[in-house]
């Protein structure tokens, strides 16, 4: 009887999967790779399709897409590159949407380093400050805007170490090569709690909104299904658990045209 139930369960599972599983190749901004890995596992379990992820700085991924890298979808850390791809005729028309609103955090693994006044930053009591490259990474651009707003950009430029992407910027701080750094909130936040250390969640008013958009590059059934999954309530709950935000008039799953 037990073997019969197992066979029947397997038959039901197989019947629910597509007749031909497809691969979906996705370019994803570094800040979102942990979330996208979990979303991909959910999607693979539900559909039988396989997701292959490639992460990096948004600017570099955009250049790869323009050079005809074989991606089916692009999850950017900004809205500018997906819009450009749409305007340039590279992206599938009407597929662009906002999947997350990024948040910037000043973080140190030292629990006593960052206080409410950010005195270590303002008084430059550090050897190195880590940021992502402002030229290619939206979180790096946001970090520069914060430092400019605080009147510190020119003073700290010689003390900054710049990661190629926000993942590398985080690693510089995590490893101790930099005493503090501007990182994505998603890198140091899970289920309502920050990682060990000290932090300052930068007020939204100090930098341009980090509107993270995705776009379809190849119009396949599997790629469309993946983007639909990312817009599902289950996915939105996971995305928000990593500290990504949504603002009035710009919900996470809003379509933009």
Please report, in range form, the residues annotated as the binding site. 58, 166
Residues comprising the binding site for molybdate?
A: 58, 166
DSSP per-residue codes, 8-59: HHHHHHHHHS-SS--EEEEEEEGGGHHHHHHHHHHHHHHH--EEEEEEE-HH
Locate 132 and state its tokens: 């992502």
CA distance 58 to 65: 10
Token look-up 């997350």 returns 100
Asked if 106 and 184 touch (Cβ cutoff 8 Å), the reply is: no
């Amino acid at each position: 009887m037990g073997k019969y139930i197992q066979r029947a369960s397997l038959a039901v599972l197989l019947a629910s999967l597509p007749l031909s599983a497809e691969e979906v190749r996705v370019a994803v901004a570094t800040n979102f790779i942990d979330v996208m890995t979990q979303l991909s596992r959910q999607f693979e379990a539900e559909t039988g399709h396989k997701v292959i992820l490639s992460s990096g700085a948004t600017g570099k991924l955009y250049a790869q897409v323009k050079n005809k890298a074989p991606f089916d979808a692009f999850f950017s850390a900004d809205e500018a590159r997906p819009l450009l791809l749409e305007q340039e005729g590279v992206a599938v028309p009407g597929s662009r949407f906002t999947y997350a609103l990024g948040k910037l955090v000043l973080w140190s693994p030292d629990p006593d380093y960052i206080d409410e006044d950010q005195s270590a930053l303002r008084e430059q009591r550090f050897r190195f400050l880590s940021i992502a490259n402002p030229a290619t990474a939206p979180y790096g651009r946001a970090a520069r805007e914060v430092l400019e707003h605080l009147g510190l950009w020119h003073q700290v430029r010689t003390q900054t170490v710049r990661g190629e992407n926000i993942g590398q910027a985080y690693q510089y701080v995590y490893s101790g090569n930099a005493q503090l750094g501007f990182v994505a909130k998603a890198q140091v936040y899970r289920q309502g709690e920050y990682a060990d250390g000290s932090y300052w969640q930068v007020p939204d008013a100090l930098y341009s909104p980090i509107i993270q958009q995705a776009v379809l590059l190849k119009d396949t059934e599997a790629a469309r299904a993946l983007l639909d999954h990312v817009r599902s309530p289950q996915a939105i709950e996971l995305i928000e658990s990593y500290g990504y935000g949504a603002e009035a008039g710009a919900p996470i799953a809003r379509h933009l045209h």
